[in-house]
Structure 1
Amino acid sequence: MVPKGWSVKTLGDLTHYSAFGPRFSSDLYSENGNVGTIRTTDLNDEGEINYSTIPYANVPDSFKSHFLDDGDLLITRSGSCGIPCIFVRQDKPVIAGAFLIRFVLNEKADATFLHALLKSEKVQIKIQNLASGGVQKNLSGTNLKKLELLVPPLPEQKKIAQILSTWDKAITTTEQLLANSQQQKKALMQQLLTGKKRLLDKNGVRFSGEWKWLKASELFKTVSTKNNSETEELLAVTQDLGVLPRSLLERRVVMPDGSTKGYKLVVPGNFIISLRSFQGGLEYSSYRGLVSPAYTVLAPIKTINDEFFKHYYKSYDFIGHLAVAVIGIRDGKQISYSDFSFLKLPYPSLEEQQKIAAALSNADQGITALQQKLDALKQEKKALMQQLLTGKRRVKVEEAA
Structure 2
Amino acid sequence: MCEQAKTPYEYFLQTLPSDWERLEIHKLGTVVGGGTPSREVSSYWHGDIPWVTPGEVSSTETQTLHSTNEHISQAGLNGSGAKLLPAGSLMVTTRATLGARAINAVPMATNQGFKSIVFKTLDDGGYYFHLFERLKPELIRRASGTTFLEISGSEFRSIQVPNPPIPEKKLIAKILDTLDTATRETERLIDKLKAVKQGLLQDLLTRGIDASGQLRPPQSEEPQLYKKSPLGWIPSGWEVLRLDTVAIRGSGHTPSKGVLSYWNGGVKWVSLADSHRLDQIYIHETDKEISELGLANSSAVLHPEGTVILSRDAGVGKSAILGCNMAVSQHFMAWRCGEKLNNLFLYFYLQREKPKFETIAIGSTIKTIGLPFFKSYEIALPPRREQDQAAAILMEAEQNLKAQDAELEKLRQQKIGLMYDLLGGRVRVTPLLGSLRKTAGPTEL
Alignment CA distance shift 1:59-1:213 (3 Å): farther
Residue matched to 2:118: 104
- Distance in 2 separating the partners of 1:341 and 1:60: 70
- 43, 52, 77: which one aligns with 2:94: 77
Verify: 1:11 aligned to 2:25, yes or no.
Answer: yes
Quote the offset at 1:81 in angstroms.
2.0
Matched with 1:295 is 332
CA deviation vs aligned residue, 1:52-80 (integer Å, no higher than 9, x gap): 9x643677832364455432222232344
Report the 3-state secondary structure (helix = DSSP H, G, I; strand = E; otherwise coil) of the residue aligned with 2:175.
helix
Letter in 2 for 1:367: L
- Asked if 1:210 corresponds to 2:210, the answer is no
Kindly indicate whether the alpha-carbon contact (under 8 Å) linking 1:38 and 1:94 is maintained by their aligned counterparts in 2. no
Contact 1:18 1:101 in 2 (8 A): yes
Q: CA deviation at 1:357?
A: 0.7
Aligned to 2:389: 355
> Against the structure 1 CA distance between its residues 301 and 341, is the aligned structure 2 distance closer, same or farther, given a 3 Å change threshold?
farther
**Residue 285 (structure 2) aligns with:** 245
- Structure 2 runs not aligned, ≥5 long: 1-14, 217-234, 256-261, 432-445
Residues of 2 paired with 1:27 and 1:354: CA distance?
67
Indicate if the aligned counterparts of 1:40 and 1:97 stay in contact, CA closer than 8 A.
Answer: no
The code of the aligned residue for 1:241 comes to: R
1:319 aligned residue (322, 330, 354): 354
After superposition, the C-alpha distances for 1:86-117 in whole angstroms (9 at most, x for unaligned) are 3334xxx7543443333323327611100111
Partner Cα separation in structure 2 for residue 175 and residue 26 of structure 1: 42
- Cα 1:108–1:60 shift into 2, 3 Å: closer
Aligned partner of 1:39 among 43, 54, 60: 54
Does residue 388 (structure 1) correspond to residue 422 (structure 2)? The answer is: yes
Please say which of residues 141-150 and 289-298 is displaced more in the overlay.
289-298
**Candidates 241, 251, 270, aligned match of 2:308:** 270
Which of 8, 14, 22 aligns to 2:36? It is 22
Structure-2 change in CA distance of 1:2 and 1:357 (3 Å) = closer
Look up the equivalent residue of 1:160 and give its one-letter code: I
1:234 to 264, 269, 277: 269
Q: Which runs of 5+ in 1 are unaligned?
A: 248-252
The AA in structure 1 aligned to 2:413 is: Q
> In 2, distance between residues paired with 1:58 and 1:263?
69
Where 1:233 maps in the other structure, the secondary structure is strand
The match for 2:437 is none
Distance 1:292 1:110 in 2: 57
Superposition deviation, residue 329 in structure 1: 5.0
2:151 counterpart of 1:114: no
Secondary structure, in 3 states, of the residue corresponding to 2:268? Answer: coil
Q: Give 1:159's aligned residue.
A: 171
Q: Are the counterparts in 2 of residues 263 and 292 from structure 1 also a CA contact under 8 Å?
A: no
State the secondary structure of the residue aligned to 1:3. coil
- Which among 351, 371, 375 is matched to residue 405 of structure 2? 371
Bigger radius of gyration among the two = 2
Q: Which moved more, 1:69-78 or 1:54-63?
A: 54-63
Q: Distance in 1 between matches of 2:21 and 2:103?
A: 23
Q: Secondary structure at the match of 2:241?
A: strand
**2:102 aligns to what SS in structure 1?**
strand
In 2, Cα distance between equivalents of 1:103 and 1:291: 57
Q: Runs of at least 4 residues of structure 1 off by over 6 A?
A: 49-52, 57-60, 205-208
Q: 1:168 is paired with a residue of what secondary structure? A: helix
Amino acid corresponding to residue 293 of structure 1 in structure 2: Q
Amino acid at match of 1:210: G
CA distance in structure 2 between the aligned counterparts of 1:341 and 1:58, rounded to whole angstroms: 63
Q: Distance in 2 between matches of 1:26 and 1:353?
A: 64
CA shift, 1:191, in A, is 0.9
Match of 2:184 among 144, 166, 172: 172
Shift of 1:356: 0.7
Structure 1 residues 359 and 100: CA distance shift in structure 2, 3 A = same
Q: Output the amino acid matched with 2:308.
A: N
Match of residue 336 from structure 1: 370
How far apart, in 1, do the equivalents of 2:285 and 2:174 lie?
Answer: 45
CA RMSD in angstroms, aligned pairs only: 3.9
Query: 2:251, 2:324 → 1: CA distance?
Result: 16
Partners of 2:360 and 2:430 in 1: CA distance:
65
Structure 1 residue 198, shift from structure 2 partner: 1.6
Contact 1:281–1:314 (Cα < 8 Å) also in 2: yes
- Give the SS at the match of 2:167: helix
- After TM superposition, give the deviation of residue 185 of structure 1 in Å: 1.5
Query: How far apart, CA to CA, are the structure 2 residues paired with 1:339 and 1:149?
Result: 62
- What is the identity, as a one-letter code, of the residue corresponding to 1:101? K
The percent identity for this pair of structures is: 20
**TM-score calculated relative to the size of structure 1:** 0.77
Q: Following TM superposition, by how much is the alpha carbon of 1:171 offset from its aligned partner in structure 2, in angstroms?
A: 2.2
- Paired residue total: 373
Call closer, same or farther: CA 1:98–1:108 in 2, change over 3 Å. Answer: closer
State the shift of 1:33 in Å. 8.8
The structural deviation recorded for 1:147 is 0.9
In structure 2, distance between residues paired with 1:75 and 1:286: 48
- Secondary structure of 1:346's counterpart equals strand
